[in-house]
Amino acid sequence: MAVGLSEPVNILPVTGIELASVASGIKSSGRDDLVLIKISPGSSCAATFTKNSFCAAPVILAKKHLSQTLPRALIINSGNANAGTGEKGLKDAVQSCEWVARAIQCNAEEVLPFSTGVIGEPMPMEVLNSGVKLVSQQLSVDNWMVAAQGIMTTDTVAKAISKQISVAGKLITITGIAKGSGMICPNMATMLAFICTDAKVEDAYLQYCLDEAVAKSFNSITVDSDTSTNDACILIASGASESALINAGSTDAIIFSQAINEVCLHLAQAIVRDGEGATKFVSVNVLDALSLSEARDVAYTIAHSPLVKTALFASDPNWGRILAAVGNAGVENLIAENVSIYLNDICIVSGGCRDAAYTEEAGQRVMDQSEITVKVILGRGDVSTTIWTTDLSHDYVTINSDYRS
């Protein structure tokens, strides 16, 4: 059950973007598993991809196509990752782009492929071919929610958000969808995200906005410390609105950038809230570090600790596990006496040991909650960061042990 997360509402169409989702048969469940996003000519595009060395065939091909031209379509399948499939997988990804190009009358290089699901299995190409023909006939500007559902794998809730802002007196819309629940860690987590706006945005600034937003959102979450082979985040600006061109020098550039940050952060936190088997949504705040890398090292050591995560699941205020994780983060010359640790607003550690005012009852009241903040004050500098994570439950093991069955 997702933590504090419900089905999205008020998801708005984006002029210049059409979508469709169908059940092609890639998934044996009969659920939707193939999504097509058609993009109007002249749109700008920014992208980030997984840093996993075994990146999937669609990732390889999408990068290649982006280096050649701007996209006119995104084809996304769930249920099969097309990863670890060698040369055959790459050829299959090429073929899927050719089928989409034929269906919507564009060049194959203008199609970006994306896949998510089981690694190492060949793509059922006949099923995919039939699905492409079907999905290309159902395109509509109003299909954002069905698309959000069509890219889901172990997700329990579709993830989508819309935001409208004024740029130079003109209203622009930003709508995004994402999938992700397990195999979530930095370097793009194990997620797919597709965000579109009708704003006119200069290419370089669009990429800048996405890179900045991803660093603060999708690359600041973890469920289980595993980085996927298939991660990607795509930001499309159709330019169909009447707004002026946005670039780094624009008056409203910061407003636009902040809106992209907010959309990405919402989607990233939705992924954590829907983490496989999660019962807790946990913010890990690290303050007063010497550097961002130091702050993130401490935050991730806490967030990745199986002992901390299982204590969270048990609602056990075993603060010694958090203390040990901080000490295990590899911070050079850390002075334990300068470190303070809090659960929400309850100080549990000060002066390097249990705070004199702390009581087990106070800690228990925090741990019984479904949303918890762990705050660590290192007392070394002025740099801070936040990482979002989950607990580790029995259901996580069940979901992943049964994943291919």
Catalytic residues: 190
In terms of C-beta density within 10 A (0-12 exposed, 13-18 middle, 19 or more buried), how is residue 347 classed? middle
Alpha carbon distance 100, 344 (integer Å): 50
Alpha carbon distance 276, 154 (integer Å): 7
CA nearest neighbour of 42 among 199, 228, 223, 218: 199
Alpha carbon distance 248, 201 (integer Å): 10
Beta strands in 331-392 (DSSP E): 340-343, 346-350, 353-354, 371-377, 383-390
DSSP secondary structure string for all residues of 198-257 = -S-B-HHHHHHHHHHHHHHTGGGB-SSS---SS-EEEEEE---SSPPPB-TT-TTHHHHH
DSSP 8-state assignment for residue 108: G
CA nearest neighbour of 222 among 268, 291, 157: 268
3-class DSSP state of 53: coil
At what angle are helices 306-313 and 292-304 packed, to 10 degrees? 60
- Matching residue, tokens 């990482």: 387
Alpha carbon distance 363, 311 (integer Å): 12
- Cβ(194)–Cβ(220) under 8 Å? no
Dihedral pair phi/psi, residue 346, rounded to 5°: -95, 115
Alpha carbon distance 106, 42 (integer Å): 13
Distance, first Cα to last Cα, the chain: 21
